Amino acid sequence: MSVALVLVDVINQFFDPRGENYHPSYEEVLRAIQRLIAAARQGKRLVIHVREWHYPNHADDFEWRKLRPHARAGSFQAEFPASLSIAVDDLIVHKRRYSAFFATDLDLLLRERRIGTLILAGVKTHVCVRATAQDAFALGYKVLVVREAVGSNHAHLHEASLEDIERYMGHVIGLEEAIRLLHG
């Protein structure tokens, strides 16, 4: 089974200073993500960009019962940062819930390519990254979350989520180890 890099919500909403949920610590996270992408390209690994993508005129979006409307399809907030490298062979998956697997075709895309190990990066560690890690584990994937390539604006929730992921869902690994795995 092969390895894929799955990037969760690497969008302007979090990574651009004009983003509604931007946090300065995400700049360091983005630099780590860029290194992971470069390693994946060198190792000819699949890169999957999973992003929030909510319908602009859909007032009944269930997620908006807990959060104010955000990441509307086609908006600046939902677009990828200008500095993010998107290649023609990358896959883009749109999601409307926290997990990258819930009501998307991510699992099918991974199984079609015989991917068994997922290297996860992105934001927020305690929401979408954790939900994605949990569902990936439940579906039988080996889950590796890159410590330097995930982040949250709540440090205590970030650390607690990394502890939960390591204990129950997969492994938290360092950036250099992830780069070695992606190189092949």
Give 135-144 pLDDT, tens digit per residue: 999 999 999 9
The DSSP output letter for 109 is H
Amino acid 1: pLDDT: 63
**134 bridge partner residues:** none
- For the chain, what is the domain count? 1
What are the tens digits of pLDDT across the range 98-157?
A: 999 999 999 999 999 999 999 999 999 999 999 999 999 999 999 999 999 999 999 999
The CB density around residue 166, as the number of other CB atoms within 10 Å, is 15
Q: For a pLDDT cut of 70, what percent of the chain falls above it?
A: 99
Identify the pLDDT of residue 60. 78
User: Residue 183 to residues 46, 74, 110, 180: CA-CA distances in angstroms?
Assistant: 12, 33, 19, 5
**Domain span including residue 104:** 2-183
Q: How confident is the model at residue 66 (pLDDT cuts 50, 70, 90)?
A: confident
> Are 67 and 52 a contacting pair, CB within 8 Å?
no
- 102 and 20 in contact (C-beta within 8 Å)? no
Tens digits of per-residue pLDDT, 25-61?
A: 999 999 999 999 999 999 999 999 999 987 888 777 7
Those residues with Cβ within 8 angstroms of residue 159's Cβ, 6 or more apart along the chain or in another chain: none
CATH number, domain of 67, equals 3.40.50.850
Number of residues in the chain: 184
